[in-house]
Structure 1
């Protein structure tokens, strides 16, 4: 038997109490001078989600009730407060709380009353009433709505940390997610390194931390099928240097293009020279359109040797060389370069990769790592 939907005004007593508590919450948030409108909005939506989940856990579990409740709340809240309380947004509030429920935001004041931890209560944002530190919310509501669409908690945590540390706009966050940044970094790390990505984000403490594969250069606007030269690729990178630096990762500063050095009366040119302020070292990049050759690796070895011997100071770390190519050959790299060489070959592509393919590669890699791990 199909039930006739109830009018928003026909709330039961428990539902009326829930509406009243959320109404008070919104009014309090709107009148609170906090750290910014976005932060107030995020905390308010978290608390709306908490109120809804706790109300649901008190009893009403029949099929379809949750959807009806969200619709009723949306109608009443929109009627009183206007835009921003559509059914989908109320549903996001509920999902937001369920995904981040470990972040306790309601604290007890000296008078025993509950208060939002928005900087006016005795406890600061990101602390529980017991004084234990919790990671605070730092992004806009739009960022968190996007993050809720990321299925795996470890990956979601990584993008939240990176968005905060790198001050990514929502557009930056979407681009990095769509380019599979998490998977590309994870593929060059062991299991402990992957866990560190989720807990601390992308940390840079050694040369290998700078590397990801492939580098995704879709923002250059070059077609895979188009005919262009290495100088065309270099010019496109220079014209989009800010976005290229974002793709390279943390701590990069651009120094020069076609950096010339001379010995034995012969001139040599490094395509792109960067400095990484976190590792205190030069990073040289040579661009290759086709398949990697052993001559490319030998040339980069010469560039690195020159910088180490004639450019870097005694206080700086060893120079890192990266040959950026369309197609590399692992066996060739392994047999050409001596063990421990600070030279790396990395592939680039001019289109966004398939996240499904990257995730499959990561799953296969994790399976191999598990099988190779020594028995406990």
Structure 2
């Protein structure tokens, strides 16, 4: 469509951008509202079926007939298959049989809920992944990746001295940044690697690296240079955590943890805190990521450090055979993604 040239009002461009933003915001709000209404509907269907299963002994035959009759009554509506009805009852049983759907669940897409129901081992995992998916806006694929990589089990588990150097609430937030171990399998490395090669691999796959570090991390740079009265120093990896408003210094060591590593990281954290941190930033923290560690040695070292730091291990080799067998194969992954799609039955 070609429009003729006309003289536009001086504020036209600003108004156009404002209207575009308003329309986009309204569309997103409408989509979220519709999704919440759908989940509330599914919750009520699941509750009604459970009540009759318990009071009248409804079996699979009755529920299959119900699915057929509902599909006949609403031929243009997806998500009323027998399989979907089973997921609805599973959702209600998993998160309690109250009249109202829990807030975190209500804001999740149906495909996310089914994936959590299928992959989570217990109530704690279901609640953690549901809340995280809502808070950080994880896509279906990101959610699956987080669950497959056992993010909940690893988040906040690295030994640290955060409680010693940070206020209670701030310490808890900082601790959630420190996983143990970090899973660098996405790098495709094997055997022994040099520290610079590991650094190169992490920065060349920065999207996956940021995803593994966790929500809120923003990449600042690698080998970040600091001049201290003519002495040159280089920080391996520097990040800024947007949600916590703090710099995060990451030092990489491919071997076993040594106490002197903590001293070096302590110096770099103090350096970044002094030269880059602004008044409105929270305190800089450091994370040392090494090949292996002795937790007792780590705690002795952190106890003498004057900066808030954590020490974690990393792995990039494939899991042992026994653990690999516990994970779903390619067919299971494909099935999981298919289940996450709107039901067409």
2:108 corresponds in structure 1 to 139
Give the drift of 1:134: 5.7
**What is aligned with 1:183?**
153
Q: Which residue of 2 aligns with 1:148?
A: 117
1:6 maps to none
Q: Deviation of residue 75 (structure 1)? A: 3.0
Name which of 320, 344, 355 aligns with 2:310. Answer: 344
Partners of 1:279 and 1:38 lie apart in 2 by 30
Residue 164 of structure 1 and its aligned partner are, at CA, apart by: 0.3
Give the deviation of 1:215 after TM superposition: 1.2
Aligned residues: 280
Partners of 2:282 and 2:31 in 1: how far apart? Answer: 44
Partner of residue 189 from structure 2, selected from 223, 237, 251: 223
* Structure 1 residue 181, shift from structure 2 partner: 1.6
What's the Cα RMSD here? Answer: 3.1
Classify 1:41/1:316 alpha carbon distance in 2 versus 1 (closer, same or farther; 3 Å). Answer: closer
Q: What is the CA–CA distance in structure 2 between the aligned matches of 1:86 and 1:134, rounded to whole Å?
A: 25
> Does residue 1:241 correspond to 2:206, yes or no?
yes
Structure number with larger C-alpha Rg: 1
Change (3 A) 1:134 1:235: closer
Distance 1:143 1:48 in 2: 18
**Aligned partner of 1:54 among 34, 51, 57:** 51
Alignment partner, residue 178 of structure 2: 211
1:245 to partner: Cα distance: 2.1
In the alignment, structure 2 segments of 5+ residues that lack a partner are: 1-29, 160-168, 324-345
Which structure is higher in helix share?
Answer: 2
Identify which of 235, 239, 259 aligns with 1:270.
235
The 3-state SS of whatever aligns with 1:223 is: coil
* Highest RCO, 1 vs 2 (Cα 8 Å, sep ≥ 6): 2
Q: Which of 74, 98, 109 is residue 67 of structure 2 equivalent to?
A: 74
Partner of 1:163: 133
Change in CA separation of 1:137 and 1:324 when aligned onto 2, cut-off 3 Å: same
| Corresponding position of 1:122 | none
Q: Distance between the aligned counterparts of 2:132 and 2:318, measured in 1?
A: 19
Query: How many Å apart are 1:296 and its aligned residue?
Result: 2.3
Q: Secondary structure of 1:301's match?
A: helix
Work out whether residues 157 and 178 of structure 2, in 8 Å CA contact, stay in contact via their aligned partners in 1: no
Q: Aligned-pair distance for 1:140?
A: 0.8
Separation (CA, whole Å) in 2 of partners of 1:175 and 1:34 = 25
What is the CA distance between 1:153 and its match in structure 2?
1.5
Distance 1:84 1:140 in 2: 12
TM-score, with structure 1 as normaliser: 0.65
Residues 221 and 237 of structure 2 are in contact (CA less than 8 Å); yes or no, is this contact kept in structure 1?
yes
1:95 aligned residue (82, 90, 115): 90
Alpha carbons of structure 1 residues 334 and 37: separation in structure 2 relative to 1, 3 Å: closer
Structure 1 residue 299 displacement after superposition: 2.0
Structure 1 stretches of 5 or more lacking a match?
Answer: 1-32, 106-125, 127-132, 190-201, 358-376
Q: Secondary structure at the match of 1:161?
A: helix
Deviations 1:195-241 (A, max 9, x none): xxxxxxx9975433321211122222x2333x543233222222332
The 2-side partners of 1:282 and 1:186 are apart by: 18
